[in-house]
Structure 1
Amino acid sequence: MTSMGKQGIKETNRPYVLIAVMLAMFMGAIEATIVSTAMPAIVGDLGGFSLYSWVFSAYLLMNAVTVLIYGKLSDLFGRKPIITTGIVIFLIGSILCGFSQSMTQLILFRFIQGFGAGAVLPMATTIVGDIYTKEERAKIQGYLSSVWGISAISGPLIGGILVEYVSWRYVFWVNIPLGILAIAGLWIFLHENIEKKKPVIDYTGAVLLVVTVSTLMILLVEGGVRLPWGSWQTVFLLSLAVTGLAAFIYHEMRTPQPMMPFDLWKVRSILVANVVSLTTGIMLIGISSFLPAFVQGVMEKSATVAGFTLTAMSIGWPISATIAGRLLLKAGYFITSLIGGISLMVGAAMFVMMEPSYGPFWAAGGSFFIGVGMGLSSTAFIVSIQSTVEWKVRGIATATNMFMRNLGTTIGAALLGGILNSRLQAYLQKSEADDDLSIDGVNALLSEADRSSLPHGLLQILQEGLTSSLHTVYIVVLIFSVLSFVGILFLPKDRGLKE
């Protein structure tokens, strides 16, 4: 099926639908860069550095769980009503986030925002898969990825300016006009001819997945910090996570309409793409979540400068994704993904070697290589999957791949946040600082006014502690980059889309 046009009374206007889809994707892309840029300011205002990773984990958890449900619903009811629902919920969450008065409130509202976000990126990508041919998709996916480049330039810049001159609250509200324009464009120009089916939603699978991932997140974030590893609470959470995962797999393999169709995983290219998407998701959140804290807290740079170190990642992503569109046609999925895997390892290695004295340009260089790797690999995976499956399962197939990346970012935010907290706590306890100094003492590093008022000795201890802890985080990121490269080696060899 090359297009949904010429079906029914009205014809889909592909260029305008593409613009609407890109607006929806831009909304999600700018959210990532702006919130990461604003987080040090948010913590400086609301406090609660120990809850830092939960601001990302809450959003990512709901995003990861709902993406599969939205994918299934879109195969039943069409893409347009599902992406519209997701955008509306996302905007409601964004508005509430801007009104947060505490870190706890912000985390709660991020749950709502993530609940809607689960529909946006996978549905936008699936719509493109529906209205363009296999050969066209390789190029169009590159155009779609250029959205990340535009958001890379505008996101950190707008976020930094808002944080410095207005308020961090406005970073959540810039999404509102984007979402409204995207909805209008889709409803005016996208026309689907869907055979209505009785909805069969796998609620049991959804509940089991939420329980499993939530439990695992709590374990990873709080283990060794608030919950000693040998405590009964930790053992209980670990047992619950393992039991929940086993029950989820057992249920999904036996239910007629699973939210996670494991039959798709029998295709080797899809299996590899999904597993590698998990590991690259862990890497992605490890860089984007904590790099601004390092640049502002340790390098003592502004929010705008911290934002632009992430900009480099979002510039590398669309450039490489555009190149990937052409490379896929000539060299194929394997070579394209392999080059991406090498770039991921180079970027991760740069972060491991990074010292505070290297400055923001070194950090930006590492970000750029990570972006290049993500652009090459993710574009290859999506085009490969959409070219392998039929329309009737394309929504859930695309959503499954994005679920794995989202699951990776969810696990990564919790795992790496837990490592950061535990290493920081251990460092502060071993230091000669005040016995009452806790992880939340880092709050002062993220506010320029508070930082300037700290005694030199205490400032040095906090900065060294944050540097040491983040170094451990980046070592873990490097390990996952190596695992990603090894996984890519198992992709089937191919000769390109044009043979």
Structure 2
Amino acid sequence: MHGQPEHLSSEMTSTTTNTAGVGLRSDRGPILLALMVSTGLIAMDATILATAVPSVVRDLGGFSQFPWLFSVYLLAQAVSVPIYAKLADIVGRKPLMLFGIGLFLAGSVLCGFAWSMTSLIVFRALQGLGAGAVQPIAITIAGDIYTVAERAKAQGYIASVWAVSSVVGPTLGGIFSQLGIWRWIFFVNVPLCLLAGTLIARNFHESVERQKHRIDYAGAALLTAAMSLLILGILEGGQAWSWSSPTSLGVLGGGSLLLAAFLLVERRAAEPVLPLWVLSRRLLATTTMLALGVGVILIGLTSFVPTYLENSLGIDPLIGGLALAALTIGWPISATLSGRLLYLRFGFRPAILVGMALVVIGTGTLAWTSQHPSVVVVALSCFVTGLGLGLVASPSLIAAQASVEWHERGVATGTNMFARSIGSAVGAAVLGAVANGVIARSGRPETDPATAADAGTAVFIGVLVAAVVTIVAAVLMPKATADTSPDPAR
């Protein structure tokens, strides 16, 4: 590569492609609408629960367990993404999308009827298994039906779902929480799932050449077991057992050994669930690392900001949710503009570097001011961070998709989404352990304003560190332009 732009190859046309055919009234409009509604399922879930955590804890108990509500969901999503991605390249996108929507629906209904924190955590895992199919396959379908230039415009439509959900989700979560009916946070998914499934079934048609393939069951099992043990060790260390205890060492050591075994199995598997060739290509490796960092940053803010504001200031859940909404309002704005203003003109890396600079400014401000809680400052910091994340997540994913052919696109997309989910799952575990540790050392309840401010400060410093580390991946990313000239050396 040696500093020269890496050109992205596939069936795409050049950046001057006419994008007039992109929109809800175009021939592909019904498919785009189906993808928007399907994405809405995941977008809504990303913000609606965080505002109701204090209410859920009051009803079911177990504040120290609340990070599990996010970690187990994200873990299930993460470990299933590579499997779904591989199957999507084998049997097609449509069957997997419908299956994922069905699982998400079942998990949502069961969550609504949860009778304890433990049961809610288990049912959140089922939701996560459904989300593991819906989000990456929706993005893969968009990659199939739109060119690079068209995706810049199509991304605006899909990103608008996040903008709407960023307001609707926290608002509904806050209202349901204040009314004492937090279970409707999950029941509201039922009509959305039915609508999404109907739109996909009616409007999306594909032709898939059926071939015999071998599923990497051993790799999938090892990956699931390894990540489960590692996250268990991180979340319960210092809580259920001390960090230096034999139990802690055994859990974390066992997870590490299983992860090493997974990597060995993947090297020998005929059709690995997570092909290591993805990491052998510099562009895919760096975009995967970017996705990992985005996952940590995103979960650090979405899972802790509302609770931090509610406990440190005593504000209503609705206000805390709306402060968080600024994050997911900024994201789609920059994601929509990123193609036209940045990566289609200057390449993907400049757009991502600008985005990371904004992320560091936003998270740095949040960490710096967290000892003096302010809804306005938190909202502004989240908005700036969201603007930055929109310039990182979307361009890096599109760059990864555009660098491979159709038969590899599901895996490339799945790997990117897997990395983001793993980042979120591990980030929720690590940051949750940090917050629980601060609270435990204070000797005061989590609702004490000073304790909440201290815990929030520790979490936001952790998010800032993750942002600074992620810049390294952005700097190492090869220059890449949305050009159709193949680069055999990629």
TM-score, length of structure 1 as denominator length: 0.90
- Identify which of 450, 465, 468 aligns with 1:479: 465
Matched, 1:111 2:111: no
Shift of 1:355: 3.6
Match of 1:414 in 2: 429
- Code of the aligned partner of 2:368: M
- Identify which of 348, 353, 357 aligns with 1:342: 357
Match of 2:177 in 1: 163
**Paired positions, count:** 462
Alpha-carbon distance in 2 for matches of 1:494, 1:120: 28
**Kept in 2: contact 1:295–1:360 (CA 8 A):** yes
**Kept in 2: contact 1:2–1:133 (CA 8 A):** yes
Alpha-carbon distance in 1 for matches of 2:235, 2:192: 33
Alpha-carbon distance in 1 for matches of 2:273, 2:39: 23
Matched, 1:332 2:347: yes
Alpha-carbon distance in 2 for matches of 1:224, 1:483: 25
Alpha-carbon distance in 2 for matches of 1:229, 1:18: 48
Classify 1:50/1:31 alpha carbon distance in 2 versus 1 (closer, same or farther; 3 Å): same
Matched, 1:364 2:379: yes
Alpha-carbon distance in 2 for matches of 1:255, 1:498: 32
Match of 2:226 in 1: 212
Shift of 1:182: 1.2
- Identify which of 72, 76, 93 aligns with 1:58: 72
Shift of 1:346: 0.9
Classify 1:60/1:314 alpha carbon distance in 2 versus 1 (closer, same or farther; 3 Å): same
- Identify which of 56, 77, 80 aligns with 2:94: 80
- Identify which of 294, 298, 305 aligns with 1:280: 294
String of CA shifts for 1:224-282, please: whole Å, max 9, x gaps.
22211211111111211221111011111111100111112222111001012112211
**Kept in 2: contact 1:325–1:379 (CA 8 A):** no
Q: Structure 2 matches for 1:5-84, cutoff 5 A?
A: 13-84=27-98
Q: Secondary structure at the match of 1:229?
A: coil
String of CA shifts for 1:414-436, please: whole Å, max 9, x gaps.
111111111211121xxxxxxxx
String of CA shifts for 1:198-225, please: whole Å, max 9, x gaps.
2421111111111111111111111122
**Kept in 2: contact 1:138–1:328 (CA 8 A):** no
Two-structure CA RMSD over aligned residues (Å): 1.7
Q: Secondary structure at the match of 2:268?
A: coil
Shift of 1:463: 2.1
**Kept in 1: contact 2:371–2:457 (CA 8 A):** no
**Kept in 2: contact 1:135–1:497 (CA 8 A):** no
- Code of the aligned partner of 1:265: L
Shift of 1:350: 1.5
Classify 1:342/1:498 alpha carbon distance in 2 versus 1 (closer, same or farther; 3 Å): farther
Q: Structure 2 matches for 1:420-435, cutoff 5 A?
A: 420-428=435-443
Segments of 4+ moved more than 2 angstroms: 354-358, 493-499
Alpha-carbon distance in 2 for matches of 1:200, 1:137: 32
Match of 2:236 in 1: 222
Identity %: 40
Match of 1:270 in 2: 284
- Code of the aligned partner of 2:432: G
**Kept in 2: contact 1:286–1:474 (CA 8 A):** yes
- Code of the aligned partner of 1:101: W
Unaligned runs of 5+ in 2: 1-10, 14-25, 486-490
Unaligned runs of 5+ in 1: 4-11, 429-436, 446-461
Alpha-carbon distance in 2 for matches of 1:191, 1:118: 21
Alpha-carbon distance in 1 for matches of 2:27, 2:410: 20
Match of 2:336 in 1: 322
Match of 2:454 in 1: 468
- Identify which of 388, 392, 399 aligns with 1:377: 392
Shift of 1:138: 2.3
Match of 2:257 in 1: 243
**Kept in 1: contact 2:295–2:420 (CA 8 A):** yes
Alpha-carbon distance in 2 for matches of 1:29, 1:425: 33
**Kept in 1: contact 2:309–2:373 (CA 8 A):** no
Q: Secondary structure at the match of 1:69?
A: helix
Classify 1:498/1:369 alpha carbon distance in 2 versus 1 (closer, same or farther; 3 Å): farther
Q: Secondary structure at the match of 1:253?
A: helix
